[in-house]
A and B are shown apart, each in its own frame.
Chain A
């Protein structure tokens, strides 16, 4: 934080954002009482996944792209096999689809629980971490850890392990879990569901700043259920496309005030991905239990205060716990556990709803099944322009706050998006001075 000698310019800067996945910094510059510049700067080193995927066999892609993100590997694996199966014309059985949805529910549970209880809730109550929060709210932190464990255990039973599951492949699974293995999860999931119901009420009682924005919400939509592992992409402004049309509507632009690429819809519009977008566009498909909890928490048909995304995330935790229990009770062992794909020269497109929003992949394959070209667009890079717009709108009426308070609230405004910087293969800025 600094002020120039004449006292006209204030700079609020956080060199290392805490409690986000990956490394980023925030700068807000205020001149003569007006916001001059805001920036979410990213200095996560580039890892070049799209480059080294070239030449790899199509069967290796899910395991490799999982390593983009340790928090949401299932999202990367799912978008990857969706795209490759699209390229190769692979049709999987309904049983495989249900099992894929179940393991993805596990990821939403663990990722959302991590964010709600360990990364985001401490902001609202003035704690620097979940540990310090646990001194006064031990029960809630313990509940969060139990919920998170329930999600991890779904990943372990279906996928072999919670981080970078090994049992997932193009075409299905290496070995489908038997009914008994899944049934053993039921009691724990029911307990977690009860705790998640209480958690929705608890987060709804947190203090929220007055702040609403007009968002163009963008999320996958499935005719039959709350979209997670696939669907069509729809928006509040009437978009309705399949994954092959993504590049016709979304493009990345280099903007002057930032060295990162900003993703825009139809040339010039920012948009909003993630739980609040899914809730606004698909809330009618929530289970009765999750819908009731949302109503009791005061969520209307849409929520436009990003600070309240914590409530929406808690509602989604409740929904996916409910959904996981439903999937387990109707589980029918898929036989075979996977279908084989014949390589051919082709291009495929795939996406899914990562915990923090839609994640799109495209692959071009050669005739022998190796990757000729790969493109991956993660949710956080798509949300970045919107995050900066929020920051600007949020700071403007609050320029009179002292630096410390303003910095705290601005960081909180970024964490609203659960940004996953490790994921963001497209972020560019590597010039930040580390101090």
Chain B
């Protein structure tokens, strides 16, 4: 996308989030030090004071939209960006803070803050794609740094990122794990969750808790029936779908379906 004389400009933006996904960028370690030879890091406040004006070739966006000011800011980021890629659960699904979407935000404000008058916030926490068009969404809470590297390389080389959309189950089989649900009756979201983490939880004898969000074609009702067979109560079924990707379909509808 660029001539050799001008390296592509990368910008990293933060909205409501924990900083963990941008931190994944700083976890490249040895690759990180030579980054500026291939890319101009034009805006990345967590790492540098130096900032360059847009437009940017690639904007990575972390975090969800929760305030009126941020709703305006993301529009400006979109205007300034040739490609906009969301990184992580907050930017892609609204994040854990989207749990407010199932409650009255005013109640939340008065629970946490002694002086609620100072809080200016939106009713809902929304994904970036609910606010502006996005070119790619990288899932994960946090994103996997190897997948992040792949996405950056793909956009800078004008190709589609090679990110698998199948379920954690596929990764888990490849890892040679015994199925925690079949063998031990441990509730697991692996069948409906997108791969990318490396089947981390089943690898340590734990059921997947869905932090990579829904896979391409999840059959949540079938999984819910299986969970019920294992003795998982409806209130717990609501909770397992309603955590890090609470506002993302089909997790959202599936959680509502089991609410009494």
Contacts and interface: CB of A to CB of B under 8 A. Distances in A.
Contact of B49 (A18, A160, A167): A18
B178 interface: no
Contact of B50 (A16, A47, A128, A142): A128
Interface stretch (A300-308, A314-322, A327-335, A425-433): A425-433
Interface stretch (A68-76, A266-274, A283-291, A351-359): A68-76
A131 B46 contact: no
Contacts of B197: 161
A63 interface: yes
Contacts of A277: none
B117 to A, nearest CB: 10
Interface stretch (A52-60, A97-105, A234-242, A397-405): A52-60
Interface stretch (A19-27, A192-200, A219-227, A342-350): A19-27
A145 B32 contact: yes
Contacts of B206: 166-167, 169, 174-175
Interface residues of B, number: 66
Contact of B118 (A54, A56, A134, A259): A259
Contact of A57 (B41, B45, B236): B236
Contacts of B135: none
A50 B19 contact: no
Given A21-B19, A152-B27, A430-B120, A48 B204 contact: no
A230 to B, nearest CB: 24
Contacts of B111: 48, 50-51, 54
Contacts of B15: 45
A146 B14 CA distance: 26
B29 interface: yes
B119 A430 contact: yes
Contact of B96 (A57, A67, A174): A67
Interface of B: 14-24, 26-27, 29-30, 32-33, 35-36, 41, 45-50, 66-67, 69-70, 73, 95-97, 99-100, 103, 105, 107-109, 111-115, 118-121, 125, 141-142, 197, 200-201, 203-206, 209, 211, 236, 239, 243-244
A51 B112 contact: yes
Contacts of A252: 114
Contacts of B114: 252, 254, 261
Nearest to B108: A51
B201 A47 contact: no
A71 B100 CA distance: 24
Nearest to A68: B18
Interface residues of A, number: 71
Contacts of B108: 48, 51-52
A131 B41 contact: yes
A166 B47 contact: no
Interface string A129-144: 1111010001001100
Contacts of A21: 19, 46
A46 interface: yes
A422 interface: yes
B16 A145 contact: no
Given A45-B66, A48-B97, A174-B205, A67 B244 contact: yes
A64 interface: yes
Contacts of B50: 128-129, 132
A283 B224 CA distance: 54
A145 B30 contact: yes
Contacts of A131: 33, 35-36, 41, 47-48
